Amino acid sequence: MAVAGSWRQDDAGNLKDGGGVFQVCTRTVMDTTDPDITFDDAGVSNYWHEYQAFKAALPTREARDATLATTLEAIKRSGRGKRYDCVLGLSGGVDSSYLAYVAKQHGLRPLVMHFDNGWNSELAVSNIEKLVSGLGYDLETFVMDWEEFRDVQRAYFKASVLDLEVPTDHMIMGALYRIAARKGIKYVLSGTNSATEWLLPKAWYYRKLDLVNLKAIHKRFGDRPLRKLPSLGLWQQVYFDRVRRISSAALLELVDYDKSAATRLLATDFGWRDYGGKHHESVFTRFYQGYILPKKFGIDKRKAHLSSLILSGQITREQALAELQQPPYDERLQEQDKQYVAKKLGFSGPEFEAVLTQPNHAHEDYGTDLDQRRLYFKALKTFGGPVRWLRSLRG
Amino acid sequence: MRTVRIIPTLLIDGRGRLVKTVRFGKRTYIGDPINAVRIFNTKEVDELVLLDIDATRQGREPNYSFVEDIVSEAFMPIAYGGGIRSMEQIERLYGCGIEKVVLSSAVSEGTDLVQRAAMRYGSQAVVVCLQVERRLLGGYRLRAGTAPGAGSPSPVETARRVVEAGAGELLVYSVDRDGTSAGYDLPMLRAIADAVDVPVVACGGARQLDDFRAAVVEGGCSAAAAGSLFVYQASSNGVLISYPTQNELCSKVFERLS
């Protein structure tokens, strides 16, 4: 089967084709555009096998319901006497929107946070508006300083690294924990779920919370100081986790989550509108996933999303293959988005073209937080025992 | 069914950032103005008022390239105000593609600029913004630095004078109501609207759609502008661009105008 844009460029700019043979998994739609994929003799990829193991290890329905009950109980207890018992991030996309609905269904009282990075689409803001007013939640918007955010995004483009969503994803999490800490909220609800996003190859993204990498890229390619960054590096994580005792709860993992049923429900009950593409709630994300990833990195993320849906039994492989026959999104719109993204980021047309066609770099080329993490875990190992012992003496 | 213009007012600070004020003072950062304009495009907003609230205070010219950027993204006509003191500036602004100029502090030096702009571009292209505030002991006055001539003529008298000079529209902005969501200052609007025969646009204090109806029916205005209502989520103070749909405007405003 021929798949457009399935060839991957290595760092030297050579086309890499998975050892010369292009192969598609016979159970999912993952293929050799993922450099780490392996196949068994029947042509079934490692992902299918891993998913079977994952599924086998899943708790029974009763056990899951029990976990849900204790989780809800703990969240509610932590919020007794307060206006909110948790905070949740709402982008207007299906996962976070459904999470907001599920929270209401179970009697939680979340403060809804929206992270505005300057790329909101009208669809996103109107979905947020409908859900927040429909569910009777309070909304707090973390409006990221646009000039500063733009500078970070420009730096990532100039660095020519793979994961241009790191700045947004990092800061959303950072903003969530900051707001939770400020308001004395102990739980952050997370929309992470295996129903729609179990499968994401390691080579197709970078760790979102590596603050060292983010800062290094910005230091090298940015033009202005970072002052308002809601950072969430290792030390901040330790602080929020150990000192402020803020936990995360992945509520969608504890309920049945069927994407198309959720989409229908949100549309009927709230007038919510579908994006027609995962994470197309922002022009930037649409352009990144639909243009940059396929054209610059040979990655079509839809393959992972669709494979997740196949694995969790929500669509058939045939449906997924049919969808992959379509271009990531309308080609005229791609051109429009490209001009808009360039203009908004302050690149001239030729500058942007040059940035997009320069050789790719690994995130690791600019430095990582691995040393920090090693240090931290070593310290935990060394002092963890004595600290626990001291605590036990105190009773 | 009678329809009226419902206009979002966007305030821009000295660095080209979108902000929202309370009583012309405390500022909240709202985000990137270009993105806001794009969202208003999709929401099919008919016109926008863009006010640079720092230009006059900083004694500088309008930021032309910024205005041009906004205009090039906007599908709707834009009225621009802030830092305008001369015909040359007005000419450049029209060159940037704006539809109307909004004069305010310039009026403090007399109505000459209003007159010349109206002669040259037509009254429909010249808006005067009256920044009206309450006097401590009752009554109204124009905010310092925006009243024409010596003494302090009443807002009504100033309204008459600028209209006589050629202003085709008045944007009557209540300083005390700005950003408070306390509703429009209807008696004040009524007094001005009754005194002139050009469109008066209410501004400052809108909290809900019904306030637009009130501005027209009780305030005698022919259009209504709002800031907070279109940049904050209704029930809490989260920043979120919004604009009513045509259906909402029809059922909650237009059909109740008679």
Transcribe B75-128 into DSSP letters: SS-EEEESS--SHHHHHHHHHTT-SEEEESGGGGG-SHHHHHHHHHH-GGGEEE
Number of residues that this document lists for chain A: 395
Q: Provide the 10 A C-beta neighbour count for residue A371.
A: 10
Residue B4 near residue B253, CB atoms below 8 Å: yes
Q: Which residues of A touch B12 (CB under 8 A)?
A: none
**Type of residue at A322:** A
Nearest to B239 among A133, A143, A147 (CB): A143
User: Contact at 8 Å (CB) between A211 and A134?
Assistant: no
Q: What is the DSSP letter of B256?
A: G
Local structure of B155: helix, strand or coil: helix
Is the per-residue pLDDT at A341 higher than 90? yes
Q: Round to whole Å and give the CA distance between A219 and A277.
A: 34
Mutation for B interface: A109, A114, A116, most B CBs within 10 A: A116
Kindly report, residue by residue over B165-201, the tens digit of the pLDDT. Answer: 999 999 999 999 999 999 999 999 999 999 999 999 9
Phi, psi of A88 (to 5 degrees): -135, 145
Reported as a single tens digit per residue, the pLDDT across B4-54 is 999 999 999 999 999 999 999 999 999 999 999 999 999 999 999 999 999
| Contact flag B240-A146 (C-beta cutoff 8 Å) | no
Interface residue A345 vs chain B (CB under 8 A): no
Test A141 with B240 for CB contact under 8 angstroms.
Answer: yes
Under an 8 A CB cutoff, do B234 and A344 touch?
A: no
Task: Kindly identify which residue of chain A lies nearest to residue B241, measuring between CA atoms.
Answer: A125
Read off the amino acid at residue A345.
L
Q: Which of A372, A144, A121 is nearest to B32 (CA)?
A: A144
Query: B16's torsion region: left (phi>0), alpha (psi -120 to 50) or beta?
Result: left
- With b for 16 or more beta-carbon neighbours within 10 A and e for fewer, the B42-55 pattern comes to ebebebbbbbbbbb
Nearest to B236 among A119, A139, A143 (CB): A139
pLDDT, tens only, A15-59 = 444 456 899 999 999 999 999 999 999 999 999 999 999 999 999
B235 touching chain A per CB within 8 A: yes
Residue B160 has a CB neighbour count (10 Å cut-off) of 15
Q: Are A124 and A90 in contact (CB under 8 A)?
A: no
**Residue type, position B16, single letter:** G
Structure-block tokens of residue B253: 């405003």
Q: Burial level of A74, CB count in 10 A (0-12/13-18/19+)?
A: middle
**Residue-averaged pLDDT of chain A:** 91
ipTM for the predicted complex: 0.91
**A116-162, pLDDT tens digit by residue?**
999 999 999 999 999 999 999 999 999 999 999 999 999 999 999 99
Confidence of residue B1 (pLDDT cuts 50, 70, 90): confident
Cβ-Cβ contacts under 8 Å, A126 against chain B? 43, 242
Give the per-residue pLDDT at A19: 54
| Residue of chain B nearest A143, judged by CA positions | B31
The letter for the amino acid at A86 is C
DSSP, collapsed to helix, strand or coil, labels residue B193 as helix
- What is the rounded (10 degree) CA torsion for B104, B109, B113, B115? 100
